[in-house]
Amino acid sequence: MKRKNVHSPDAPDLMAEACAWLAQLETGNLSKEDLAAFREWIQRSPRHYAEIRRLAELSQEVNVLSAMAQPLREAARHRRLMRRPHRTSRGAGTLWRWGVLGLAGTFAFGLAVFSNVNPMAPELADPIYLSTIVGETQDISLTDGSSVKLNTDSKIEVNFTAGQRNVVLEKGEAFFEVTHDPGRPFTVYAGDRSVTAIGTAFSVSWINEELSVTVSEGKVAYGEAPARERPASVELLPSASKPSPTRMLGAGERLEVSSLSRAEVVESLPVNVMSRELAWRSGFLDFDDAPLEDVVKELQRYTPERIRIADQATANLRFGGVVRIGHTDAFFEALELSFGVQVEHTEDNQLVLRSAD
């Protein structure tokens, strides 16, 4: 698929480019050359990420949006920023329904935020709890001008005061773009660790007591949170060593903390790897020659339907490609057609992957 070069992120055909890519991604008909071109295009400018993410969120069928209009208005009228834990039903449903529910949640939440929060008003002292269900991602504008992108099955507590901006990541993954305010530090807590922004953009993942911090812009200060500064909701974890000193992480660096030894490893990420790691912000998962068992582990985060690999030979297959979040049917079709993998739907709501031989 040939693409017209866009030399400037402000080029008038940016939306047309994003629409064309989105249409082809939905068909699943991408060659290796197309996939490489898509990665190059989406890495070329943050505006490309933003535009394809915007279109992906709005790409539901027009008749679906029309049918949802009245329910959305009702939801916006009744929904408010909550000051107690948000509980959401996790009943089974199709991927199509998750997409509609996620879209409805995003619209209703956005309307509630803009209709009830005055950005010039004093900060609330009481915490606010925000969450996503499995298969949902959500963009959130905070009252200080910062923004949060919540990944699937995630939950945060936001507590802003006159002197501090604290966020507790109780579970899941979140990407933060922080407005600089030297008088009020912006600190994210996960377990007994803290990440303080220094005018930056970064992600924090806290899943099964495994911590990962990835910095895409600016710097963050990372360390073990002093006991006197920890929010009351932060759960202390056993540590195998002395408290870690504060360390600086710069753009392009990722820190991972083992759930068992609490050992900390910092590595520099090439631009293409960083792009793949954060592709979920634009509604995609990007894999490059990854073992199928790793691909399935990542996909499992976005669906309540259990996925099981029946044999090691299938688990060792290598997969490269882009999967749109909430639209995994094309992925399973590719496994059957190109990899000779049999996909079996069981009566107990499982997907079993096994060699067709």
**Do 231 and 289 belong to one domain?**
no
Q: Which domain holds residue 290?
A: 283-357
Q: For residues 5 and 40, what is the distance between their CA atoms, to the nearest angstrom?
A: 11
β-strands 306-309, 350-355 pairing: parallel
**Do 186 and 259 belong to one domain?**
yes
**In-domain check, residue 232:** yes
**Do 269 and 293 belong to one domain?**
no
How many distinct structural domains can be found in the chain?
A: 2
Where among 238, 273, 308 does a domain terminate? 273
**Do 129 and 193 belong to one domain?**
yes
**Do 259 and 312 belong to one domain?**
no
What does the pLDDT profile of the chain (357 residues) look like in tens digits? Answer: 444 443 444 444 777 777 777 777 766 566 767 777 777 777 677 677 677 766 765 654 333 333 333 443 343 343 333 333 333 333 333 333 333 333 334 433 343 333 333 333 344 457 899 999 999 999 999 999 999 999 999 999 999 998 999 999 999 999 999 999 989 999 999 988 999 998 789 999 999 889 999 999 999 999 987 654 555 555 544 443 444 568 899 999 999 998 777 789 999 999 989 999 999 999 999 999 999 999 999 999 998 889 999 999 999 999 888 888 888 888 888 888 888 899 998 888 889 999 876
340: left (phi over 0), alpha (psi -120 to 50) or beta: left
pLDDT at residue number 280: 94
pLDDT at residue number 232: 57
**In-domain check, residue 206:** yes
Where among 273, 300, 319 does a domain terminate? 273
**Do 264 and 306 belong to one domain?**
no
pLDDT at residue number 29: 63
**Do 123 and 192 belong to one domain?**
yes
Q: Supply the CATH number for residue 185's domain.
A: 2.60.120.1440
**Do 124 and 212 belong to one domain?**
yes
* 207 Cβ neighbours under 8 A, 6+ residues apart: 171, 172, 173, 301
**In-domain check, residue 85:** no
DSSP 163: S
**Do 128 and 205 belong to one domain?**
yes
Where among 210, 242, 273 does a domain terminate? 273
Q: For residues 309 and 342, what is the distance between their CA atoms, to the nearest angstrom?
A: 10
**Do 251 and 343 belong to one domain?**
no
- Residue 130: name the closest of 104, 144, 149, 103 by CA: 149
**Do 236 and 296 belong to one domain?**
no
**In-domain check, residue 92:** no
Q: Supply the CATH number for residue 303's domain.
A: 3.55.50.30
**In-domain check, residue 56:** no
**In-domain check, residue 289:** yes
**Do 233 and 316 belong to one domain?**
no
